């Protein structure tokens, strides 16, 4: 049995982080999202993996290569036009000989979930199996209508209160080859895409058995920037302590830390773990790293900096006297001295963030900013909760940012002042 990982999309809901990389290559807990899925397939016994790539595919191919260093064999198929999940699955058609498992690359699954999926297929007659999970509000998902374990219908994003159940399609499938016949008969949806759920409906209409398997194992969807923080917290909490760098005298650590090679934590620094610090980092002196902070490789954190529950990507500098709260900061940024990234609204209401141009209630009270790669801030600049700054942009000294900044933009504060000599009346 082969595994197919769908990782061709742009990840527009994750912008500006995905302007320079595929969403599945965003790192949490020290690994790209896609690597967790690859390892889940491997640990479930599936060693032959097809990656359907497209947007910025070089980042994926350069990282995983032929898969040998990860204990698998990888073949790549390029989806030249991103025309939906059925189209993506169909692009791997010539490499499929029998049954196969499909995972969306932007979810994270437990290997036991895949083992259960295979066991279900081997024990009962079926053409397709969908992994299902239960949510409180199914209105943003594909909701299944199910009788015993046989799926009767799939309803995409039903109106609130009209869903037939709280069970949703988790984006994890096991198919036999008859799915390709259904894909051949699938027409474009209203979105202009070939949806695999429409292909499954065709199978149902032809009286093929489509089963659902409810998951009680770990399944995590990563679709929007703040969800990176949730996933990062999960994985950092599960990691074993591993200290390979240097810790100077006078450092206080409560809880576990991961400290990479050639990294140093300088005297006076206070850490509340769990905290992840990559390779080649320089921390302190006198810095304060709070729970669930993730620092990538070659990150510098200066004197008297406080970082709380944030992801700081490779090569970024957070300079002295700065505060970063509940934020995602891209690679190769420079956060100047005295920069404050706030994470709590003055009125204590939920933070809102623009996703694809529309304000979205994130459902959480504490959320800072999202910076794309190569952002620079000036000294004593401030960022209100929920703002995003595009790649290659710079914000001048003393500026207060309360709305999103596009990429490749310079923001300067207009200041008026008067010089008065002491002897003037």
Question: What H or E segment, with its residue span, contains residue 134?
Answer: strand 128-134
The label of the residue with tokens 């070659």 reads 298
Q: Is 320 a catalytic residue?
A: yes
Output the CA torsion 248→253→255→257 (10° steps): -30
57-64 vs 33-43: helix crossing angle, rounded to 10: 50
Yes or no: say if 351 and 366 are a contact pair by the CB < 8 Å rule. yes
Catalytic residue among 87, 234, 254, 320: 320
Q: How far apart are CA 131 and CA 189, in angstroms?
A: 22
111-123 vs 33-43: helix crossing angle, rounded to 10: 50
Q: How far apart are CA 334 and CA 373, in angstroms?
A: 10
| CB atoms inside a 10 Å sphere around CB 211 | 20
Yes or no: say if 170 and 102 are a contact pair by the CB < 8 Å rule. no
Pick the closest to residue 117 from 141, 101, 106 (CA basis). 101
Catalytically annotated residues: 320
């Amino acid at each position: 049995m082969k595994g197919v990982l769908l990782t061709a999309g742009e990840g527009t809901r994750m912008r500006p982080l995905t302007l320079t990389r595929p969403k599945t290559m965003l790192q949490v807990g020290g690994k790209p999202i896609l690597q967790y899925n690859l390892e889940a397939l491997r640990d479930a016994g599936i060693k032959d993996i097809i990656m359907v790539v497209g947007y910025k595919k070089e980042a994926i191919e350069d990282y995983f290569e032929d898969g040998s260093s990860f204990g698998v064999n990888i073949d790549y198929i390029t989806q030249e036009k991103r025309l939906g999940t059925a189209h993506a699955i169909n692009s791997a058609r010539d490499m499929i000989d029998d049954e196969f498992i499909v995972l969306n690359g932007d979810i994270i699954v437990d290997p036991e979930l895949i083992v259960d999926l295979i066991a279900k297929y081997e024990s009962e007659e079926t053409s397709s199996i969908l992994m299902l999970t239960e949510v409180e509000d199914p209105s943003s998902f594909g909701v299944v209508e199910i009788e015993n374990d046989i799926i009767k219908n799939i309803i995409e994003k039903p109106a609130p209160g009209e869903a037939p159940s709280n069970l949703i399609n988790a984006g994890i499938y096991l198919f036999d080859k008859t799915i390709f016949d259904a894909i051949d008969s699938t027409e474009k949806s209203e979105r202009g895409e070939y949806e695999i759920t429409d292909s499954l409906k065709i199978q149902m209409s032809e009286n093929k058995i489509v089963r659902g398997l409810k998951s009680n194992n770990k399944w995590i969807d990563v679709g929007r920037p703040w969800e990176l923080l949730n996933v990062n917290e999960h994985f950092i909490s599960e990691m074993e302590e591993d200290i390979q760098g240097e810790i100077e005298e006078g450092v206080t650590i409560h809880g576990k830390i991961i400290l990479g090679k050639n990294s140093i934590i300088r005297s006076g620094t206070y850490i509340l773990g769990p905290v992840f610090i990559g390779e080649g980092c320089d921390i302190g002196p006198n810095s304060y790293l709070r729970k669930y902070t993730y620092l990538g490789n070659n990150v510098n954190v200066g004197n008297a900096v406080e970082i709380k529950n944030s992801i700081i990507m490779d090569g970024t500098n957070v300079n002295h006297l700065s505060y970063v709260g509940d934020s995602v900061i891209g690679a190769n940024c420079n956060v100047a001295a005295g920069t404050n990234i706030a994470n709590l609204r003055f009125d204590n209401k939920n933070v809102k963030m623009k996703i694809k141009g529309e304000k979205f209630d994130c459902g959480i009270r504490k959320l800072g900013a999202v910076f794309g790669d190569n952002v620079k801030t000036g000294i004593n600049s401030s960022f209100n909760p929920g703002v995003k700054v595009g790649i290659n942009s710079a914000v001048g000294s003393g500026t207060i940012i309360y709305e999103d900044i596009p990429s490749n933009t310079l923001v300067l504060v207009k200041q008026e002042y008067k010089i008065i000599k002491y002897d003037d009346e």
